[in-house]
Chains A and B, each alone.
Chain A
Amino acid sequence: MRMTARIPTVCPYCAVGCGFYITRNGMEYMQDHPVNEGALCPKGNAALDVLNHVDRLRYPMMRIGDDWIRVSWSEALDRVAEEMQRALREKGPGALAFLGSAKCTNEENYIFQKIARLMGTNSIDNSARRCHSPTIIALRRMLGTPAMTNPVSDLALSDCIFIIGSNLAENHPVVARWILRAKDRGAAVIVADPRVTPTAWLADLHLQLNPGTDIALINGMINVILNEGLENSSFIKERTSGFEGLDLSDYTPERVSSITGLRAGDIVRAARLYAKAGASSIVYCMGITQHSCGTENVTACANLALVCGHVGRPGAGILPLRGQNNVQGACDMGALADFYPGWRSVDDSRAIDELRRLWNARALPLGRGLTADMMPEADLRFLYVMGEDIVNSHPAVSRRRERLKRGFMVVQDIFMTDTARIADLVLPAAAWAEKEGTFTSTERRVQWVSRAREAPGEARPDLWILSEVAARLGFDLSPEPEEVLAEINQAVPAYRGISRSNAGARGGIIWPCPHPDHPGTPVLHTERFSTPDGRARISPVHHPALERTSPQHPLILITGRVVLHYNAGSMSMRSEGLVKREPEIRIDVHPEDAARFGVADGDAVMIETRWGRARARAKLTPRQKRGTLFMPFHFPETNLVASEIIDEKSMMPELKVAACRIWRAD
């Protein structure tokens, strides 16, 4: 361990990728980090609570009946390999499944998916499935690169920022910093969200639309833009294809007004603000992706940007805000059932052959493997979960968790999560600050994180664990992060020039970085898009049939996050400073709806969707839109009621809308 006074690190929580220092006794702010400039949200401020927590897994444990027995590493690792090989032998590669981690390093995810593929399966997935899988599908098709086109700090250069389906003020607070800088310069901010969130507080125009009507709104805006001749004709002509197929004449302001519940005048105003500004950005998140039409929603957002030519310049871009500290990286590394490393489609045999040669493999599997939601239904004999509490992060899995363990289940994590609790073997992993490697933030920024603390007990870095498992399977995979990164240079074109040296500099390096001296690429698509013909593809999409309310379920449930907690809560719920400020689940209800159903503030209520029931405390608040309710999904109750309807293109569950009813619990 180095004896340096303070060690630079990157926050393990969300994907903004804020930097700070870990010192011997605590933390210090990193004021020269290009994204957060020293600032941190409350979770970042509490990040160190995870490291020394008493709940940390300290040694490998095997389940015997209902008891956990401590075992040695060699016994545990032998067992992992044995069970994996047995499942392969008895039922073939289709009986194996792997869940990668959006919180583990790029090197770890790369090795993990490599093991899965060398064992013959594409059934490897990560939590991106429930987050930005529609972004991956839609932006890859339309722009060529499935990622944010501009860096976060670019927002300060925008003249108009259109935030749709994102509550960034709570979920990516540091992004709000840059939006406020734009406002200081006179930029206009439009926020489309059914709720009056803290993000909406920043808006010059808040469009409180009905849940699930985003395509109608955006098509309505494009309709206005085309009618008033505000489109960017030269951009459309020179840099896009497919514009001729865009017939949105149906989406008049009046019709869109009746679908969205917005005033026609506001739709027109939003369209004019966005189109006429010198540089406009679209920022979006789960409110766009977590729908059965999530892929179409993302497509609509990109259409709007392309029609106005607001892509490929500073301050003008499409910004999907990713969720986890390394979800972008886990996807870049191919920990996905539909992509190999470097965004090679599982159906692209020619591209996959490059990897086959690099890995010296005889053959590599083709075709989409099992995605996370499909795993409980499959006839699995072996499931290896690395760093994800899938039981608490996916409603379908949550409701049918016992089916995950039809075969042998290994969970590698830092805490005994609810997922680990049902496993057969639990492997203690090192946390982010106890190992080395790279993490890729939402803006494609690759940053090296150095070891600042010792892992507790016998917990080891995931990379070491995977390399030991691999060795027992007959694969020689290095446990050294720098060596793995060197192989990633060859496997992932956008990472070709990335090394510890440039990733370890202040602020890391933004991919694509094609060679070691390349400065990185903050703004994408400046000259051409990464599609085969270099043009972006405009694709018409239409307002779909909606999740409908009924007399039995007259309200719409919206699920989402709150600022003090993080995803399934395995980390944030163990942080006293965070838990005391947000201790329990509550359902946000508009006072008028509450009166309708006889609910008072603080009452215990039952909520029911057609998927299930849960109990929570009601909180009456004017910020909720009439006819809708809100539940934060950091608490397990929300999984009991969330929808399982899937967007077939991306396998994303429709987490943002579910028809429901509430009544006072007695």
Chain B
Amino acid sequence: MKEILVRPERCVGCRSCEIACAVEHSQSRDLLKALSEMPQRRLYVEHVPEYSLAVPMLCRHCEDAPCVAVCPTGALTQDALTGVVRHNRDICIGCWTCASVCTYGVIGRDRRARVAIKCDRCPDREVPACVSACPTRALIYGEVEEVSRARRAAPALKFAQGVAASSR
């Protein structure tokens, strides 16, 4: 299954992902019209000054999700096929147990609806809004195995070149 993978070293802290997320989940789905709705984002760009980095923090849709485990009403469930953790606003009681156990702190509070708010992986899109919006490709959307394979290629090549050089 495809995951949203984060490369913090590419993040410039522009927050385009946050805006895109909020707009995607608004009624109007248009940037200018959405301003009057004040929709909420479901991902968060955290600045870490000690390392001069900005780190996008998003829901990982964990395989063994603590939020799903603690939800007392079953509002949070995990899709067996895709692994996506879904949130049903209708049966959410706003108890915030999920938010308090989330290791990444990425479950938020919809203050108007008085229920939880979290990433849904943009079910109506092919590519999640945050990924599409990211100008530096700090957020990428792909299969974990493919991304890992791509990442292995460059250092593997270097290693091979090194071995070849030393055996000459």
**A–B touching in complex (CB under 8 Å):** no
